[in-house]
Chains A and B, each alone.
Chain A
């Protein structure tokens, strides 16, 4: 397989909803340890909305619109900080795709890279702050490398998810610098970040949809 088709991305969105639903309690549990215990709930609310509107979203004229509409839906339905963050991610991810209805690995890399950049600008977080960036940034890195090494789409996605998983685990030992958890300072050490976890789940869903 050389490209990812728009219909596959729609499948991805559906799968994210399923994965988030499955892991809602885990996300909330993670968030309740060092945050405000709403991440699982908020994410589910957001993606439930996406799944509710999936028919409408499917009619988007190209992938850029699909991503943008998904982002908008998340912004107005998640409620917590993940709303503007994931909303921005999807909107920005779509912004570099022109009118494409299928994308190559390079397109995918550019797209996710731009999405992550949006998230960083929005949340003003960097790697090491114990946030979703700790998953997303290495993932972009990995995609970049895969493009350079001319790897297959399947291989690239697989590598990306491995790296993302490590990134997620790395948040356990970090001190939170952003969000509600940052109020806890050192006490946030020892807990995995909920946002990093949901980011990992989303990337993992992408791999599982395509491969």
Chain B
């Protein structure tokens, strides 16, 4: 194929023209840009060496057509040609054709395999389309009106919705050129034009239903006629049925929507929300600028990520080829081209090397700019490619970050529609803008879900491929307590009903909220403490306004996420202080770093484990990495001097761990003494009860501890040996299993017997049905997401503990999950 070189004073213009031309040639023709100067302050100009390089970079046996703008571009192109080795020089043709029109026409003609002369001729004719449209002066129109109307005739009705637009036009020329005929074509009484020429065929502007009239002279008449008929049958290569946009074609609609027409997911966080769906594939991801000195590492990270995504994409492409045919697979060709775009990759590499940007930010910056460029295109087909670019951008970002750690930025209040959302992402959401979160994968107790609850964001998860039914900008209504999603376009009446319900809910919420700060005392005068689970000062504030009697669980691991190094003592101190300040003197229980499992933090260097939930998690990690642990303990001790805090070790499974952790704490305290830094000797120490083994050594543990806090999520996961993140199991994963209830009872009794405090900080605490049951088991302290507190306090005020004990006295005999559910409903 003939290659093309675009020379312009402006780098942007040259690259833009290449982009346009490549669009036409479907990236099959080698086209290079030689624009501008390498002078940042004044980049306008042409450079003969650049042009020479560009020509060499696309050198082709079939020839190289050089198109240029004006003045020095012409002279430098000549100079560049003279500098080429003779063999190449001979096949270079400098062409006076108009730059943009010429490039597009040349690309299309080259693609169909024309020779250098023919391509140049097409380039010169490139202007004809515009002339026809704008009606150039009669004498200037180059169209040969006397062009033969002789020959045998074939008539063809344009079958596809979009008419003879760019791609079908290219295909038509391709087909024509396969046969040894002179073919002219016309539509709507327009002058006949050569069907071999893309620029001329493009001027026809044939719409759906128009009749194309071909006049054919030559030997291959019937073969050509058959090919045309096939082309018509193929709907001119466009997808059949409906005005289908490219984007929708690539997602074969295999959506399983509930028979009743609504979408049913797993309820994750309560609340009703109605709003615009924001499908998180487009522009909603953002990465903050980050400077990383270890450029080489970042560079490797970046390169590996691109390689991985490319091989993944290649795999998908192969599959698509098998399942959906060439049309679908072509989309992945474009993805692969993006991933191998040397210039873009180079740009990213330079940002990493020269500006010391993190791999994620450099990649994000370059590809977001590219996406924006495509979004501004006037051609619809090109505009739609923007979402492909975003997809590739996000895939690579995913690979670079290892986990889902990109920040999501919404510009207007919307319901977020995501495949999967990470805990850190959830936490970074602007709560004023996120009306709800619905996700393809995830379960009731994945950390993102839990966080959504503590932020009071209605959320539904586990939608699987039903999620494809929701398109960007659709108005949808979601009910987080039932897991049902309605689309306004199909169920306007349901959306209205949800609105009414939402208002009622709001009213009830206001009522409860007004009493939230009052103590929770049952009708038979038993007082309960309702505490909050939080991960940040922001959530502590929310918890306080919702009437939390303190913080029962402050998850500090989020302080360690989304960064390159662990937080320093001073930074930790400030954040802990903010949380305490936000609680206005109420007690705050701070859990030490609980890393591992589903909360990977790359820089902590936890090796890949075949079973991370049973691996180096929580206190196990901290005891092996004492420097990080002691830094945290030091910050905590210092806080204890001025605030009412308690510390809690996570994932304790044996006494040895408590002893080792306490030894480190003693060391920290000794060091503080030496430095004359104040701390409270009375600070209480407790553990999370989540490893089942603890149940059997409560008396031994109690000697060294002040309190226990039951984490029902992990306790359930370990008791039932059931991965809580595994959506295939999410149906059976429940803290209400008889085995879990009995374990809870044993722990609560044991703690009461040993005289140490016990509370419960798992998700079970926020289930109002379970509140009564837990009260019957003797639990008086619950910790939950802040926004749930008013509701639970309300429930407690309306219950009678002695009645509950009576009602649930047979709990030990419950045998199945269904029985428990029935009993508490």
A84 touches B75 (CB 8 A): yes
- Asked whether any CB of chain A lies closer than 8 Å to the CB of B89, the reply is no
- Asked whether any CB of chain B lies closer than 8 Å to the CB of A75, the reply is yes
- Asked whether any CB of chain B lies closer than 8 Å to the CB of A83, the reply is yes
- Asked whether any CB of chain B lies closer than 8 Å to the CB of A179, the reply is yes
Contact with A along B64-87 (1 / 0, CB 8 A): 000000011001101100000000
- Asked whether any CB of chain A lies closer than 8 Å to the CB of B328, the reply is no
A88 touches B79 (CB 8 A): yes
Shortest C-beta distance, B101 to chain A (Å), equals 21
Cross-interface CB contact of B76 among A45, A75, A77, A179, cutoff 8 Å: A75
A123 touches B75 (CB 8 A): yes
A79 touches B78 (CB 8 A): no
- Asked whether any CB of chain B lies closer than 8 Å to the CB of A87, the reply is yes
B45 touches A42 (CB 8 A): yes
- Asked whether any CB of chain A lies closer than 8 Å to the CB of B204, the reply is no
B79 touches A75 (CB 8 A): yes
A81 touches B71 (CB 8 A): yes
Q: What is the bound-complex CA distance between A41 and B37, given in angstroms?
A: 14
Shortest C-beta distance, B10 to chain A (Å), equals 11
* Residues on the A chain within 8 Å of B79, using CB: 75, 84, 87-88, 122
**How many residues on the B side are at the interface (Cβ–Cβ under 8 A)?**
17
Shortest C-beta distance, B8 to chain A (Å), equals 12
Shortest C-beta distance, A181 to chain B (Å), equals 11
CB within 8 Å for A41 and B42 given contacts A81-B72, A122-B78, A179-B71: yes
Q: What is the bound-complex CA distance between A75 and B71, given in angstroms?
A: 14
- Asked whether any CB of chain A lies closer than 8 Å to the CB of B46, the reply is yes
**How many residues on the A side are at the interface (Cβ–Cβ under 8 A)?**
22
- Asked whether any CB of chain B lies closer than 8 Å to the CB of A180, the reply is yes
* Residues on the B chain within 8 Å of A45, using CB: 39, 42
Cross-interface CB contact of B49 among A76, A79, A85, A122, cutoff 8 Å: A76
A79 touches B44 (CB 8 A): yes
- Asked whether any CB of chain A lies closer than 8 Å to the CB of B579, the reply is no
* Residues on the A chain within 8 Å of B48, using CB: 75-76, 83-84, 87
Find the residue from A45, A79, A82, A83 having the highest chain B CB count within 10 A: A79
B75 touches A79 (CB 8 A): no
Q: What is the bound-complex CA distance between A57 and B42, given in angstroms?
A: 25
Contact with A along B1-38 (1 / 0, CB 8 A): 00000000100000000000000000000000000010
Q: Nearest residue in B to A88 (C-beta to C-beta)?
A: B79
**How many CB-defined contacts (below 8 Å) exist between A and B?**
58
Shortest C-beta distance, A183 to chain B (Å), equals 10
Shortest C-beta distance, B660 to chain A (Å), equals 65
Q: Nearest residue in A to B77 (C-beta to C-beta)?
A: A84
- Asked whether any CB of chain B lies closer than 8 Å to the CB of A128, the reply is no
Considering only residues 147-206 of chain A, those with a C-beta below 8 Å from chain B are 179-180
- Asked whether any CB of chain B lies closer than 8 Å to the CB of A78, the reply is yes
Contact with B along A69-81 (1 / 0, CB 8 A): 0001001111111
CB within 8 Å for A83 and B42 given contacts A75-B49, A76-B48: no
B47 touches A76 (CB 8 A): yes
Find the residue from B47, B78, B79 having the highest chain A CB count within 10 A: B79
Shortest C-beta distance, A176 to chain B (Å), equals 13
A81 touches B75 (CB 8 A): yes
* Residues on the B chain within 8 Å of A122, using CB: 75, 78-79
Instruction: List 8 A-B pairs, minimum CB-CB distance, nearest first.
Output: A79-B45, A84-B75, A81-B72, A84-B79, A75-B48, A81-B71, A76-B49, A84-B76
**7 further A-B pairs in the complex, CB-CB below 8 A; given A75-B49, A76-B49, A80-B71:** A75-B48, A75-B76, A76-B37, A79-B39, A79-B42, A82-B72, A122-B79
Report which A residues bind B (CB closer than 8 A). 38, 41-42, 45, 72, 75-85, 87-88, 122-123, 179-180
A-B contact pairs, 28 of them (CB 8 A): A41-B42, A42-B45, A45-B42, A72-B49, A76-B49, A76-B50, A77-B37, A77-B39, A78-B45, A79-B9, A79-B42, A79-B44, A79-B45, A79-B46, A79-B47, A80-B72, A81-B71, A81-B75, A83-B45, A83-B46, A83-B76, A84-B76, A84-B78, A84-B79, A85-B75, A87-B79, A88-B79, A122-B75
